[in-house]
Homo-oligomer: A and B are copies of this chain.
Amino acid sequence: MASGTLLYAQSGGVTAVINATASAVIEAARARKVKVLAARNGILGALREELIDTSKESAAAIRALAHTPGGAFGSCRVKLKSLQQDRARYERLLDVLRAHDVRWFLYNGGNDSADTALKVSQLAAEFGYPLTCVGVPKTVDNDLAVTDCCPGFGSAAKYTAVSVRECALDVAAMADTSTKVFVYEAMGRHAGWLAAAAGLAGDGENAAPHLILFPERPYDEADFFAKVKATVERVGYCVVVASEGIQTRDGKFVADAGGGKDSFGHTQLGGVASFLAGRVKDALGYKVHWALPDYLQRSARHLASKTDVEQAQAVGRKAVEFALKGMNAVMPVIVRTSDAPYRWKVEAAPLSKIANHEKKMPANFLRKDGYGITPAARRYLEPLIRGEAPPPFGRDGLPKYVTLKNVAVTRKLPPFAG
């Protein structure tokens, strides 16, 4: 039995498989007789000394965690600033780690979390406190550097491709007398990874989605309208997938143009799809529908990608392995060794190469006209949505998701007002 405790925390937007990572972390640590605490609501729980004793959870509950979406211990949207600016909070963090004999800190999140884990490791070294910090990748945005892909993305991508394929069949059936243009809004504020995944729903000029709008290309309304019109005239209908983050040529978010106040002076939380739908209806006169799946796309564990689940679990296991080996300030990343057959492995990469970097979509993934994806993009994306890993369903027709007991660890420190 290794001496000391492992602290695991979830950070940022949760996904359909971040709990699969948590499950793998806890199971790997248990196999090595290492005690695992989890921070409630991510880094906040570590600052507030709100820690959860995962040893109170049964083996069955931890196994069920692997098929439960959301973030079982709570996550948060908090970014610590630089060591200088947020010194007090970093020191508090170290105090809490020390108070609970935490020797391994696993932070499961995106760029910001990698940065926080890196800074905590630097501070621990400065104070001579023996701590191994490991970042664990997670984000539906697929924008982490170094890793070939990010756990969470594959399942959201599968949800997107399947949903677009399904609703396109609905639109096709009704187009003669009803909706002719359908707009599906995909997450992706800075990069169009999920919108690109929608491209897997069909291939060829007449297959839905007919037009994809990427944040990587400026939104040109006149050109878009012309393409919508041409598609409706050629195919009978037009399925559009729009990234929430598309921008005009002068760098303004299109969604903001549609937001603001409505005629009653109330905040109208528009979104891109709603805005585009209104514009297309006004300009072209077509009946338009749109969908905004929002959190559904990142929590749809019922439609998870098996590849994604396996990778989420693999990075969790490897994170524990790296931590216990004392590999400090690293992240287990996914390395693709072959497209066909798809092969991958997990390696360690330094957090310094990942923290605060953002992976953009390669330029050769976007079709020249800017409205679709290339064969290179398909080669990259397709393996990530491959395989099904449905949760068990109950007699009641609903997936059986677990709720943990989340038993609090007794506090050892005074409260922190930070």
Give which listed residue, B76, B176, B179, B398, contacts A200 with CB less than 8 A: B398
Once A269-B274, A274-B268 are accepted as A-B contacts, the answer to whether A291 and B294 lie under 8 Å apart by CB is yes
Give which listed residue, B68, B166, B263, contacts A300 with CB less than 8 A: B166
User: Which residues of B lie under 8 Å from residue A262 when comparing CB positions?
Assistant: 258, 260, 262-263, 268, 270, 275, 278
Instruction: Report yes or no: B263 in contact with A260, Cβ–Cβ below 8 A.
Output: yes
The SS class assigned to the A binding surface is mixed
Instruction: Report yes or no: A167 in contact with B296, Cβ–Cβ below 8 A.
Output: yes
Instruction: Report yes or no: A305 in contact with B174, Cβ–Cβ below 8 A.
Output: no
Give which listed residue, B41, B291, B397, contacts A387 with CB less than 8 A: B397
Instruction: Report yes or no: A166 in contact with B382, Cβ–Cβ below 8 A.
Output: no
User: Which residues of B lie under 8 Å from residue A393 when comparing CB positions?
Assistant: 388
Once A76-B178, A260-B262, A266-B279 are accepted as A-B contacts, the answer to whether A293 and B291 lie under 8 Å apart by CB is yes
User: Which residues of B lie under 8 Å from residue A35 when comparing CB positions?
Assistant: none
Instruction: Report yes or no: B269 in contact with A271, Cβ–Cβ below 8 A.
Output: no
User: Which residues of B lie under 8 Å from residue A63 when comparing CB positions?
Assistant: none
Instruction: Report yes or no: B396 in contact with A174, Cβ–Cβ below 8 A.
Output: no
Q: How far is the CA of A388 from the CA of B398 in the complex (A)?
A: 9
Q: How far is the CA of A78 from the CA of B289 in the complex (A)?
A: 18
User: Which residues of B lie under 8 Å from residue A299 when comparing CB positions?
Assistant: 166-167, 169-170
Instruction: Report yes or no: A169 in contact with B77, Cβ–Cβ below 8 A.
Output: no
Give which listed residue, B16, B165, B305, B390, contacts A399 with CB less than 8 A: B165
Most-contacted residue by chain B among A295, A398, A399 (CB, 10 A) = A295
Quick one: copies of this chain in the complex?
2
**1/0 contact trace for A56-88 toward B, CB 8 Å?**
000000000000111110111110000000000
Q: How far is the CA of A182 from the CA of B184 in the complex (A)?
A: 19
Q: How far is the CA of A332 from the CA of B178 in the complex (A)?
A: 27
Instruction: Report yes or no: B163 in contact with A397, Cβ–Cβ below 8 A.
Output: no
Give which listed residue, B77, B201, B289, contacts A398 with CB less than 8 A: B201
**1/0 contact trace for A305-320 toward B, CB 8 Å?**
1010000000000000
A162 sits at the interface (CB 8 A): yes
Residues facing B in A272-301 (CB within 8 A) are 274-275, 277-279, 281-282, 288-296, 298-301
Instruction: Report yes or no: A269 in contact with B263, Cβ–Cβ below 8 A.
Output: no
Instruction: Report yes or no: A292 in contact with B292, Cβ–Cβ below 8 A.
Output: yes
User: Which residues of B lie under 8 Å from residue A269 when comparing CB positions?
Assistant: 274, 277-278, 281, 288, 290
Give which listed residue, B10, B41, B177, B296, contacts A177 with CB less than 8 A: B41
A contacts, CB < 8 Å to B: 10, 13-14, 16, 41, 44, 68-72, 74-78, 158, 161-163, 165-174, 176-179, 182, 200-201, 257-258, 260-264, 266-271, 274-275, 277-279, 281-282, 288-296, 298-303, 305, 307, 382, 385-388, 390, 393, 395-399, 401
A-B contact pairs, 11 of them (CB 8 A): A14-B169, A16-B166, A74-B174, A166-B399, A257-B264, A262-B268, A266-B282, A269-B290, A291-B292, A387-B397, A388-B390
